[in-house]
Structure 1
């Protein structure tokens, strides 16, 4: 994998020190750093998704530990192209992970409710733009490898999380909380019509294919196919 400004142990040094919280005089030694893909494919993602694994030895006993992180990297090679900048994708994501989610979670602090991964570091410069987040795999989180028949227990969990998020957002707004200026412009606007049109055909075809695989009734499918 090509090296870039963030793909070095020095970039993660401050993150490791905060994560380990070692006592004064106790150090650690990095044994191995691996940069790999965090997703099977990039289609549909508006950034490159990397998983970074760092093997370290801690203290005089040389205790072995592995710390993992997810890095979202801005790239011209992924879905979206110019839309990434027009829609201010990275500034929006940084605002959400850095400010909004921690604030909403603080309203549920007694219940320890979480709405997303912690943001550990973000850099935007001429050479690269990245957001470093915790790897939720470490806490047992995993993506469902299926598109059909979501278990009822999972449906209830999703609805419960949405209700908690909504309740926190209501309290946040009632207390005068605001949002980034970037969110005041929607996805569909005069600035995005031309850019979005180039993706319409492929997305529409994928949408129809998905409905057909799920055996939607003809009364819903036929009008869409004719369109």
Structure 2
């Protein structure tokens, strides 16, 4: 085991698991006979947390044969003072613990209430607020795998993800209606005016994009000039995508919904993963969930994680698909608030389309990079030569370049490259 796993195992003992499993399974006679830990994350998987997998063997009351189950312990990452400081400002650990302890179970119960047994996320086993730890089921044991961030989601995978996201948004809206204020207090995602930690990343990426455009025959100095003028404003314009507007439907959004925060299950369970026969999905990682517009999640998911032809040619159809599930679920749950029409949702998406621009130009190059050597929060929050060189590496990716050549003119036609008040 590595150092992180060893430190977690110092307190995640047989006795600890015995205590939490007795409560979770409502079995005071349950006895844990053995546990085995292994690392569950690697470089590039997460900037802000660590994962440890546990195989737990236990003997339940009235059972003669022991059983084994698999869990993941998600704990705070404290190995770097920069990360520790930034994450304290964002309060991500406390937010995700609240999500797993209080909010996600209630949202799951709402679906069961209407006879919908679709699962949206992993089941919570225990939340330890003292140690900033969450223990939940290990989905990988059931055959779930993390979506391919390099290839992107194909159409069947995209529809599954949108189904889960629509039900997430719908149940959250109803939960907040029944328990007013609980979700609206979750303000601010990873972009917020009060904590501008990622502004250097946004400005730096716009600069390297501008330099790429200048050297690109299909784009040229016209785009470089526009992007450099936009650069001082890019962070503020992106944050505006989260702002409330009269008449807009608001709910709890995932806040970081992209490929690696989606796990997929293939019909060929136990064999090689079949991308054409994916039958289920789960959403993971809720550190940045906040009360905002579903347009933020939709723009981010589509423009970081869908195959390019879906983003370019099937977006309207997929938004309609999402809207059908959102409204159907809201109606079944007898939501008392205003349910947006498809037209109203499209207007909401259009008014927040700048987030599609930053998701494509700033975020996706990082997320589809295969070079993880300098992929850490230091690179994204500091202004230095190391960061600038890292951004240049991201834009040396031919897939990124091909996408930018197509999307910059599109975003320009939408007026998103223009500086406004």
With normalisation by structure 1, the TM-score equals 0.76
Of 159, 174, 178, which residue of structure 1 is paired with 2:177? 174
In the alignment, does 2:411 pair up with 1:212? no
Describe the superposition over 1:120-161 as per-residue Cα deviations: whole angstroms up to 9, x where unpaired: 222233xx4311112223444222345215332211111111
Where does structure 2 lack aligned partners over 5 or more consecutive residues? Answer: 201-377, 382-386, 410-421
Contact 1:208 1:221 in 2 (8 A): no
Where does structure 1 lack aligned partners over 5 or more consecutive residues? Answer: 223-227
In 2: Cα distance, 1:174 partner to 1:138 partner: 36
Contact 1:95 1:180 in 2 (8 A): no
* Aligned positions of 1:126-137 closer than 5 A: 128-137=131-140
Contact 2:94 2:132 in 1 (8 A): no
Of 101, 105, 110, which residue of structure 2 is paired with 1:102? 105
**How far 1:14 sits from its partner (Å)?**
1.9
In 2: Cα distance, 1:214 partner to 1:63 partner: 58
Say which SS state the counterpart of residue 144 (structure 2) adopts: coil
**How far 1:90 sits from its partner (Å)?**
1.1
Match of 1:51 in 2: 53
In 2: Cα distance, 1:206 partner to 1:100 partner: 39
Say which SS state the counterpart of residue 13 (structure 1) adopts: helix
* Aligned positions of 1:1-227 closer than 5 A: 1=1, 2-4=6-8, 5-18=10-23, 21-22=26-27, 28=31, 30=33, 32-41=34-43, 43-57=45-59, 62-77=64-79, 80-109=83-112, 110-125=115-130, 128-145=131-148, 147-148=150-151, 150-179=153-182, 183-189=186-192, 191-193=194-196, 197=200, 198=378, 199-200=380-381, 201=387, 204-205=391-392, 208=395, 212=399, 215-218=402-405
In 1: Cα distance, 2:399 partner to 2:48 partner: 26
Question: Quick one: structure 1 residues 27 and 42, their matched pair in 2 at CA, closer, same or farther if it must change by over 3 Å?
Answer: same
Describe the superposition over 1:196-222 as per-residue Cα deviations: whole angstroms up to 9, x where unpaired: 645243774575356735732536579
Q: Hey, which of these two has a bigger chunk of strand by percent?
A: 1
With normalisation by structure 2, the TM-score equals 0.44
Cα RMSD of the aligned pairs, angstroms, is: 3.4
In 1: Cα distance, 2:392 partner to 2:195 partner: 20
In 2: Cα distance, 1:194 partner to 1:90 partner: 17
In 1: Cα distance, 2:94 partner to 2:23 partner: 24
**How far 1:80 sits from its partner (Å)?**
2.9
In 1: Cα distance, 2:63 partner to 2:178 partner: 50
In 2: Cα distance, 1:188 partner to 1:150 partner: 25
Higher relative contact order (CA 8 A, sep 6+): 2
Match of 1:225 in 2: none
